[in-house]
Amino acid sequence: MSRKSGRLYTQQNIMDKYGLPKHVIEQYFPAPYLERTAHRKNTRVQYWKPEDVEKALRLPEVKRARQKEKRRQEREKRKQEELYRYLSGFDIDQYRIQAARLSRKFTLHVGPTNSGKTYSAMKALKESETGTYLGPLRLLALEMYETLNSEGHYCDLLTGEEHIEVPGAAYVASTIELCDFQTPVQTAVIDEAQMITDRERGDRWLKAIFLVPAKEVHICLAPQAEKLICGILESFGAEYTLERHERLTPLTFAGPFDDFKEAADGDAFIVFSRRAVLSVAATLEKQGIKASVIYGALPPASRKEEIRKFENGETTAVVATDAIGMGVSLPIRRVIFCEAVKYDGVRTRPLYPDEIKQIAGRAGRFGIYDEGFVLSMAEPELIRDGLERPDRELKNLTIPFPEETMDSDYKISDLLNAWQNLPKIPGVTRADMSDAIRIYRFLSRYTNKGQKHLVYRLITCPFDVEDEQLLSYWFDCSLNILNDQPLPEPFSGTDTLEECEHRYRELDIRHQLLRVIGIEEDRMEEKRQLCERINAFLEQDKDAYIRTCRYCGRILPPTWRFPCCDKCYHKHFR
């Protein structure tokens, strides 16, 4: 019953139209004409007659309050405009100026998955005296670290959870977030550079491309990012060459996949949640098919062990989320999409064509299979269309939030909120600081002005802020750091697979927060034991993960999204 026509006013109508704060309405306005329950549960909405509103507006106290509120709003507007101007000064031009001062040569390795572009870039790295590999995943950094050391190219490992120094190392394999901008090297490899458009992490690729201190920089990217990356290099006058790579094995869409009984050696089943991964693996296990599992919550060492079992034939299939799509090469013959929609953190939506291509491209491992095949259990037309559709050209690059703004007199909350609301610039996306804004609210009352840089690094610690238990552990650790107290031990136990995974992530948070204050704590042995326990749980019978109807107990398909079967739904809810 919103009365914007003027017949009746709600409190919000009065606040919006006359610029009055809530407390003035509560203090000086007469009792509401009526009160009704809104559509939202337990919410009451009050309504005033127009004549009562007009009468209240003529009161001297209300007139003064309106003038005072108007002056306050004008001050806030000027302050906001000043803050916008300040933040607008930290744009892409500052990176171009710095990049133009560096003397570097670039090589772009452009190609789809399974085209050998990373192999070619790493070959150049091995031929140099010093170098660094920068990748999107810990697992990829670990893979490069092990490969280089096994070939006699001594290499350190630097990720969010560990730092392994090898005596005499001339190379570093690192996640992109930990790029060293202070130590010059001869060659740098920046992998999966199409992620420069990602609003959550793309700023790391942008900063690495602009500022990595290497004489030669090899950038590996998907074809749809070629024009964007070339434009970046040209913007600061960089010298670059293009090396285009073609896929090494053909990829064929082979139609629908009807039943898990049709599973064969070398199959990869794709779903988009941890629950679905374990459910599909349990279904396969019931049919005598042992499968490795790969999903985001699985620690890197556990994921590596699952990959090892698949590569060595101890398992004959793999069940994975889209975590499989980024860089890790597996001996996969067929990629089978069990689902065609995913939850992206905001909504459940159909897969984008570039996501389909990235995942499907894992089929047909060069040197093992002559051809890769793609099938689908869900919406095969969507999957085929995604494979056949031309690549969508990437146009937006992501610029990072400027930490140097913490030296200003502005409040952290004002800086972060203003950054999120800055006017849009064509071709530019600003790093998403919504998670930092959300968790800063927990710390804001416990901080002081001299801790701004420290607080910023605490609230930008990467972890799943939607997980309440992880958020609670992060808060306790951060509060102890601000109060110069020892960090608490992780909350989770080790009695179940879920508890072990949670404890590992809590140890990860602990490690990253300690690194913020310059402390390197070695808990790798505990993490190793946790990973062994996780892999032991994954070896066990997975019957507990087979989904059943909560009413009749009937076994549900592994990717079923509802808690009951169709029959029980119609019986109980229709």
Predicted local confidence at residue 41, as pLDDT: 57
List of residues 6+ apart from 125 with CB closer than 8 A: 131, 133, 171, 187, 189, 218
Q: Give the β-pairing of 291-294 and 317-320.
A: parallel
Compute the distance between CA of residue 420 and CA of residue 377 in angstroms, rounded to an integer.
40
Q: Give 61-95 pLDDT, tens digit per residue.
A: 999 988 988 898 899 889 889 999 999 888 888 89
Averaged over 451-477, what is the pLDDT?
Answer: 94
Q: What pTM was estimated for this model as a whole?
A: 0.83
Compute the distance between CA of residue 268 and CA of residue 316 in angstroms, rounded to an integer.
9
Angle between helices 412-421 and 60-88 (to 10 degrees): 80
Instruction: Answer whether 294's CB lies under 8 Å from 320's CB.
Output: yes
> Is the predicted pLDDT of residue 39 greater than 70, yes or no?
no
Instruction: Answer whether 444's CB lies under 8 Å from 413's CB.
Output: yes
Phi, psi of 106 (to 5 degrees): -115, 145
Q: What is the DSSP string of 449-485?
A: GGGHHHHHHHHT--S-TT-HHHHHHHHHHHHHHHTT-
Which of 56-70, 123-137, 340-354, 421-435 has the highest mean predicted lDDT (pLDDT)? 123-137
Cβ count within 10 A of residue 570: 10
Q: What is the DSSP string of 257-315?
A: ---GGG--TTEEEE-SSHHHHHHHHHHHHHTT--EEEE-TTS-HHHHHHHHHHHHTTSS
Instruction: Answer whether 271's CB lies under 8 Å from 339's CB.
Output: yes
* Percent of the chain whose pLDDT exceeds 90: 66
Compute the distance between CA of residue 30 and CA of residue 17 in angstroms, rounded to an integer.
18
Q: Which of 195, 442, 38 is nearest to 458 (CA)?
A: 442
The domains found in the chain, sorted by start residue, are 9-88 (no CATH), 92-244 (3.40.50.300), 251-394 (3.40.50.300), 402-539 (no CATH)
Bridge-partner residues for 349, per DSSP?
A: 342
- The 3-state DSSP class for residue 368 equals coil
- The 3-state DSSP class for residue 190 equals strand
Q: Looking up tokens 């999409």, which residue turns up?
A: 337
Q: Give 172-213 pLDDT, tens digit per residue.
A: 999 999 999 999 999 999 999 999 998 889 999 999 999 999
Q: Give the β-pairing of 239-244 and 34-37.
A: unpaired
Q: Give 530-551 pLDDT, tens digit per residue.
A: 999 999 999 887 777 888 888 8
Compute the distance between CA of residue 545 and CA of residue 414 in angstroms, rounded to an integer.
46
Higher pLDDT, 79 or 473: 473
Predicted local confidence at residue 1, as pLDDT: 40
> Is the predicted pLDDT of residue 160 greater than 70, yes or no?
yes
Own/partner long-range contacts of 404-413 (Cβ < 8 Å, ≥24 apart): 404/90, 405/86, 405/87, 405/90, 406/452, 406/453, 406/456, 407/452, 407/453, 408/86, 410/83, 410/86, 412/440, 412/444, 412/447, 412/452, 412/455, 412/456, 412/459, 413/437, 413/440, 413/441, 413/444
Cβ count within 10 A of residue 571: 12
Phi, psi of 309 (to 5 degrees): -65, -35
List of residues 6+ apart from 206 with CB closer than 8 A: 95, 196, 232, 397, 398, 399, 400
List of residues 6+ apart from 111 with CB closer than 8 A: 117, 222, 223, 244, 245, 246, 247
- pLDDT band of residue 220 (cuts 50, 70, 90) is very high
468-to-410, 432, 537 alpha-carbon distances in Å:
30, 20, 24
Torsion of CA 106, 111, 113, 114, to 10 degrees: -90
List of residues 6+ apart from 503 with CB closer than 8 A: 490, 491, 492, 493, 494, 530
H-assigned helices in 347-467 = 353-360, 380-388, 412-421, 434-443, 452-459
Lowest-pLDDT choice from 290-294, 317-321, 449-453: 449-453
Compute the mean pLDDT over every residue in the chain, rounded to the nearest whole number.
91
Compute the distance between CA of residue 401 and CA of residue 456 in angstroms, rounded to an integer.
11
Q: Give the β-pairing of 348-350 and 341-343.
A: antiparallel
Compute the distance between CA of residue 422 and CA of residue 432 in angstroms, rounded to an integer.
12
List of residues 6+ apart from 154 with CB closer than 8 A: 148, 166, 167, 168, 169, 170, 171
> Is the predicted pLDDT of residue 36 greater than 90, yes or no?
no
Predicted local confidence at residue 327, as pLDDT: 61
List of residues 6+ apart from 278 with CB closer than 8 A: 293, 542, 545
Predicted local confidence at residue 144, as pLDDT: 94
Higher pLDDT, 346 or 395: 395
Bridge-partner residues for 336, per DSSP?
A: 269, 375
Cα 570 to chain centroid distance, Å, stands at 38
Compute the distance between CA of residue 372 and CA of residue 292 in angstroms, rounded to an integer.
19
- pLDDT band of residue 166 (cuts 50, 70, 90) is very high
Q: Which of 109, 129, 105 is nearest to 119 (CA)?
A: 109
> Is the predicted pLDDT of residue 312 greater than 90, yes or no?
yes
What is the sign, positive or negative, of the torsion defined by CA atoms of 343, 346, 352, 355?
negative
Predicted local confidence at residue 344, as pLDDT: 78
Predicted local confidence at residue 5, as pLDDT: 46
The pair of structure tokens assigned to 551 is 């009413």
Higher pLDDT, 468 or 19: 468
Q: Which of 150, 145, 156 is nearest to 180 (CA)?
A: 156
- The 3-state DSSP class for residue 173 equals strand
Q: Is residue 60 exposed (0-12), middle (13-18) or buried (19+ Cβ within 10 Å)? A: exposed
Q: Which of 200, 215, 203, 139 is nearest to 173 (CA)?
A: 139
